Amino acid sequence: MVAVVRRSGNRNVSVPRGTTSRGSARGGVSPSRRPAAAPVRPASSRQAPSSRPASRSGRSAASPATVGRAAGGRASGARPAPRTVTTSVRLGDLPAARSDRRAPAARAIARPKRSGAFKAAIVALVLACVLGIAYAALYFGGAFAITSVKVNGADHLTNDEMAILAAVPQGTTLLNVDTSSVANSVDRDAWVADVSVNRIFPDTLEINVTEREIAAIVEVAADNAKVTQMWAIASDGMWLMEIPARDSELGATISPQIYEDADRVLHITGVPFGLTPEVGTYCADGNVNNALAILDGLSTELADQVKTVTATDAASTCLTLDNGIEIAFGTAEDIRDKERIVLQIMADNPGKVSYINVRVPDRPTWRAV
C-alpha cells in the first residue's frame, strides 16, 4: 500500500489515493479536477525519513473536509493556489530503519567484556585452594615431626624438668604444635619470669626462658622452731624453692647453679616463727618484704658488703657487713640518705666503727670498736 503526501505551504497533509477534497465556497478550482501528480518513489529507503508520516510530525492527519477548506481559503484571493508536491513512502521502510539503528546497541549489551581483575581473582582463588589442600596434607600427614626440644636460658632448671614442663606430646609436628600452650605450661614454674616458644624447621622446638634470680636466702623456722629451712626468694618476693641439703638425695637431682647462687647471696634471719612459704607465691610477710626493699634500694658499693639482714621487726631491721659492722637501718625509707651517712662514717673512721644507727637519718649515731 502506498500513501500520498501533499505539501501545502508549511503543512504536510496525507490523503489516501482516490480521495478528493472539496473546493472552497469562493469558487476555487476543486483539487479533484486537477490531474493527479504521478507518485514519486524514493530511490532508496534512506530518503524515507524526508517525508514524515503524520504520526511522527506530532499532528493528527487532516480529514478531506479540512483539506478542502484550507485549499479553498487560499484560492479565494488573487494569488493562485500553492503548488502541491507529493511523495510516496513505503510503510514498512521506517520501522525497518529504526530497528537497524537500535541493533548495534543491543549487540553491545549482549556481549560484556571480562576485566583483568576478574581473571586475577579467579587465579588467586584457585591458587588458595591448592595451597590449602597442600597445607592440610602436611598438617595431618606427620610432616616436620618434632624430634628435639632446645632450651635456652634455663640455669636453675634441668633438662628433665624442662621436658616435664613443656609436655610436648609424642608425634607432635611443628605445624600442629600449640606454642601458646607450651609457653603457658613452662611459665607456671616459679623460676620462670618470661618464656617464648619458636619453631625451627625441620624438626626442632626452641624454648627461650628468662629466669628469676635468687635475691636472698630466708631462714624460716619450722617444726616448732626446731628446724630451720632455707628458702630461696627472688627480688620481686616470689618464693622460688626450699633448698635441700647439698648431700641429700633430693639435692643430687637439682641444678648445681642453685647452690652456687645460694652461697653467693645474703641471708635474711630472725624471721618470727609462723612464716609458711609456698613455691610460686609471693611473700606476704612485712618484715621480709622490708628487708628485700632495702637490699633493692642500696647501691652496689654498700649492698656488696651486706652479709645478713635481721628482719625480726621492720622498724629494727639490721644489716651486718662482711667486716662485722652492724647497721641499724630501720624501715625502707630514705634509703640513699641512710646509705650515704653510713659510708661517710666508715670513711672518716676506718677500722674504728663497730655499730652505726641511721634509723633516724637526721640524728645518726655510731659506736667505736
pLDDT number for residue 80:
57
The number of CA neighbours under 13 Å toward the Cβ of 71 is 26
Q: Where does the chain hold its CATH 3.10.20.310 domain(s)?
A: 148-211
Sheet strands side by side (includes 148-152): 148-152, 204-211, 192-200
Q: How many CB atoms lie within 10 A of CB 270?
A: 18
pLDDT number for residue 291:
97
Backbone angles phi, psi at 95, to 5 degrees: -55, -40
Q: Going by C-beta distance under 8 Å and a sequence separation of 6 or more, which residues neighbour residue 67? A: 6, 13, 15, 21, 31
3-state class (DSSP) for residue 110: helix
User: Does 148-211 carry CATH code 1.20.1250.20?
Assistant: no
> What grid cell was written down for 322?
662482711
Between the CA of residue 59 and those of 54, 55, 56, 227, 270, what are the distances in Å?
6, 7, 8, 125, 122
Are the beta carbons of 366 and 357 closer than 8 angstroms?
yes
> What grid cell was written down for 209?
626462658
- Among the residue ranges 92-101, 129-138, 256-265, 327-336, the one predicted with the least confidence is 92-101
**For the range 11-16, what are the long-range contacts, defined as Cβ-Cβ under 8 Å and sequence gap of 24 or more?**
11/70, 12/51, 12/52, 12/54, 12/57, 13/61, 13/62, 13/67, 14/53, 14/54, 14/61, 14/62, 15/64, 15/67
Which class for 134: exposed (0-12), middle (13-18), buried (19 or more C-beta within 10 A)? Answer: exposed
Confidence band of 76 (pLDDT split at 50, 70, 90) = very low
Average pLDDT over residues 181-205: 96
Rounded Cα distance, 4 and 18, in Å = 10
What does the pLDDT look like over 78-95, one tens digit per residue?
A: 555 556 555 555 555 555
Calculate ∠ Cα 236-238-244, nearest 5°: 130
- Among the residue ranges 98-102, 143-147, 303-307, 309-313, the one predicted with the least confidence is 98-102
Rounded Cα distance, 264 and 261, in Å = 5
Average pLDDT over residues 235-239: 96
Confidence band of 137 (pLDDT split at 50, 70, 90) = low
What does the pLDDT look like over 205-225, one tens digit per residue?
A: 999 999 999 999 999 999 887
Query: Would the pTM of this model clear 0.85, i.e. be above it?
Result: no
Q: Where does the chain hold its CATH 3.40.50 domain(s)?
A: 214-368
Average pLDDT over residues 175-191: 95
Q: Hey, which residues does 352 pair with through a beta bridge?
A: none
The better pLDDT of the pair 98, 273 is held by 273
Match domain 214-368 to its CATH number in 3.30.70, 1.10.3470, 1.10.3430, 3.40.50: 3.40.50
Average pLDDT over residues 100-104: 52
